[in-house]
A and B are shown apart, each in its own frame.
Chain A
C-alpha cells in the first residue's frame, strides 16, 4: 500500500495575536502551501481542526471560509472537533482521506483564537465539555488536573518538585522555539512559589491561553517522492476514547485513551515504545506529561516522574520529550496544538529543527482531548 506522507508544515507565532480565527488559519495554510510549492487550487480535501470558534468568536463554518480565502474553491472541506485533541483528530481524518484514495492532496490547518476573552470565560468555554454533574460543581479542566496530580503524588510517593521540573524542562526547550508564546527559562523556585491554581498545582504547572495556527500537507508517498525533497511518513495513527465522566475511571492516574490509541498506533507502525526517538506530549498540565509517558509505555506506571528527575526526557537525554517547549511554553491554541506537535516532529525528522535538533528517526505525538476523554497517537518516521 502507498503510505501517507507529509510534504509540508508550518505554524504561526503562538501567543496573544491581533488576528482573528480566519486570519490565523489563512496565515498557517498559506505558509504551508508555499513551503511545499503547492497551489491551493490543487487541493482535493481541506480539514480544519478547531474546538470552539463559534463559542469564542461567533464565527462558524471556518473550513469553508478558509477554502475561499486560500483559493482552494472546489475542495471538499470538513471541520474536526475533538476538543483539545482536534489537531490529532484532524491529522487522523487527513490521513484517512489520502490512505483511502479519496484525496491525493489534503491540507490540514488547526487553529484557535482565545485571548480576546477573559481567563474565566475561556476556562468556562473549555469546561463546557464536562458532564452536567461535573459542570454544576464548577469543575474545570485545571481542577481535574489538581485532583489527578494529588492522586498521582500520593499513589507513587512522588515529590511535588518533580512536576515543577516538567515546567522547567519545557520552558528551557521553548527558549529555542521562535514560534513559542514564552521564550523564557524558569527555575524550580519560580515554579514552586507561583500562585496555587488547583492545589497542589501552581500557575507554572499550566499552559497559557493562546492564539495560533499550524498546518500540514499530506499526500501519497509516491506523490511525495515527486513533489518534495524532504518528507516524513505517517506510519501509525489511531484514536481512542475514555470515560466522559472523569470520576468513573477505576484508576485516576491512568488515561485509557492514551493506552488504547498508542497500542493501535504502535501495531499499525510495527513499532513499540522503545523505538521512539523523540516525542511531543500534551502537557496542558505538568501532570499530564507523567501520565502520558507512562501510558504510552515509555516508563513503568508510577515511574514517569523519576525519568524527569533523572534528565531522561531532557533535550540531550535518552528520550527527549517536548523539544518544542510543549504546550507549556509554546502555548495551547486548542485546535492548533495537535497539528503543531506534528510540525515539531516534521522539523526534527527532516533535520530542520535548528538549535532544538535531536538525533531522531521515529517520532511520536500524543494529543489529549477533554481530560483524556479522547486521545490520538501518531507515529512519524523519516523517509527511508
Chain B
C-alpha cells in the first residue's frame, strides 16, 4: 500500500487519485510518494463514537504535505491524541486500519491498510 499524491500534466496535485484532475479535467500522469515526507497538522479530532471494527477512541487529522512548493492534503488516523494544530507529523504504516469484515462496506471493494500520522 502506498501513500501517493497524483499529478496531472498541468501540475495539479491530489490525494487520493481521481480519473480526471478535479481542477482542469486532464488525466493524472504522475505519482509522488509521500511516505518519506513529513506533513503539518491542519486540524484534528478524537472520535469517541466509532463504527463497528474501528478503534475507540480514534484520533484523526487532516494533514498537509508540501510537494515542490505546492500543498496537498491527506486524512488519516493519529498514533496519539497528544497533538496540536501546526505540529509536524510523519506517516507510519499500519497493516489493518479497521476490521474489514465488521462494517457495511464490501471488504473486497477497497484496501484496509495505510498510514497513520505520528508527531515528529
Name the B residues within 8 Å of A134 (CB-CB).
75
**B110 interface hit (Cβ, 8 Å):** yes
* Contact, CB under 8 Å: A124 / B45: no
Given the known inter-chain contacts A135-B105, A138-B97, please indicate yes or no for A252 contacting B62, CB distance below 8 A.
Answer: yes
**B52 interface hit (Cβ, 8 Å):** yes
Q: Which residue of B lies closest to A144 (CB)?
A: B45
- Nearest chain B CB to A355's CB is how many angstroms away? 34
* Contact, CB under 8 Å: A143 / B104: no
* Contact, CB under 8 Å: B49 / A147: no
Task: Fill in one digit per residue for A184-200: 1 if any B CB lies within 8 Å of its CB, else 0.
Answer: 00000000000111111
> A154 vs B45: C-alpha distance in the bound complex, in angstroms?
13
* Contact, CB under 8 Å: B48 / A197: yes
> A34 vs B16: C-alpha distance in the bound complex, in angstroms?
50
> A150 vs B54: C-alpha distance in the bound complex, in angstroms?
22
Name the B residues within 8 Å of A131 (CB-CB).
16
- Nearest chain A CB to B60's CB is how many angstroms away? 5
* Contact, CB under 8 Å: B104 / A137: no
- Which one, B42, B51, B55, B111, contacts A124 given CB within 8 A? B51
**B103 interface hit (Cβ, 8 Å):** yes
* Contact, CB under 8 Å: B48 / A132: no
The residues in B between 91 and 120 inclusive whose CB is less than 8 angstroms from any CB of A are: 97-98, 103-105, 109-112, 114, 116
**B85 interface hit (Cβ, 8 Å):** yes
- Which one, A148, A151, A198, contacts B47 given CB within 8 A? A198
Q: Which residue of A lies closest to B85 (CB)?
A: A154
Name the A residues within 8 Å of B70 (CB-CB).
none
Name the B residues within 8 Å of A148 (CB-CB).
43
Name the B residues within 8 Å of A124 (CB-CB).
51-52, 103-104
* Contact, CB under 8 Å: B98 / A136: yes
Given the known inter-chain contacts A120-B52, A131-B16, A248-B22, please indicate yes or no for A137 contacting B97, CB distance below 8 A.
Answer: yes
Name the A residues within 8 Å of B112 (CB-CB).
136
**A228 interface hit (Cβ, 8 Å):** no
- Nearest chain A CB to B40's CB is how many angstroms away? 13
- Which one, B42, B60, B85, B105, contacts A137 given CB within 8 A? B60
* Contact, CB under 8 Å: A138 / B51: yes
> A55 vs B105: C-alpha distance in the bound complex, in angstroms?
11
* Contact, CB under 8 Å: A196 / B46: yes
Name the B residues within 8 Å of A128 (CB-CB).
103-105
**A123 interface hit (Cβ, 8 Å):** yes
* Contact, CB under 8 Å: A196 / B97: no
Task: Fill in one digit per residue for A239-270: 1 if any B CB lies within 8 Å of its CB, else 0.
Answer: 00001011110001000000000000000000
> A136 vs B60: C-alpha distance in the bound complex, in angstroms?
12
The residues in A between 138 and 153 inclusive whose CB is less than 8 angstroms from any CB of B are: 138-140, 142-143, 146-151
* Contact, CB under 8 Å: A138 / B14: no
> A247 vs B44: C-alpha distance in the bound complex, in angstroms?
12
Q: Which residue of B lies closest to A121 (CB)?
A: B52
The 7 closest A-B pairs by CB, nearest first: A146-B45, A138-B54, A124-B51, A132-B110, A151-B43, A143-B47, A199-B46
Interface residues of B (CB under 8 A from A): 14-16, 22, 42-55, 58, 60-62, 73-77, 85, 97-98, 103-105, 109-112, 114, 116
28 contacts across the A-B interface (CB closer than 8 A): A55-B104, A119-B49, A123-B50, A131-B16, A136-B112, A136-B114, A137-B60, A137-B75, A137-B114, A137-B116, A138-B47, A138-B58, A138-B98, A142-B47, A143-B60, A146-B47, A146-B60, A147-B44, A147-B61, A150-B44, A150-B45, A154-B43, A195-B48, A196-B48, A197-B49, A246-B75, A247-B74, A248-B73
Interface residues of A (CB under 8 A from B): 55, 119-121, 123-125, 127-128, 131-140, 142-143, 146-151, 154, 195-201, 243, 245-248, 252
Q: Other CB < 8 Å A-B pairs besides A196-B48, A248-B22, A248-B73, 18 of them?
A: A123-B50, A124-B103, A128-B105, A132-B16, A133-B16, A133-B75, A133-B114, A135-B105, A137-B58, A137-B60, A137-B77, A138-B50, A147-B60, A151-B42, A154-B43, A154-B85, A247-B62, A247-B75
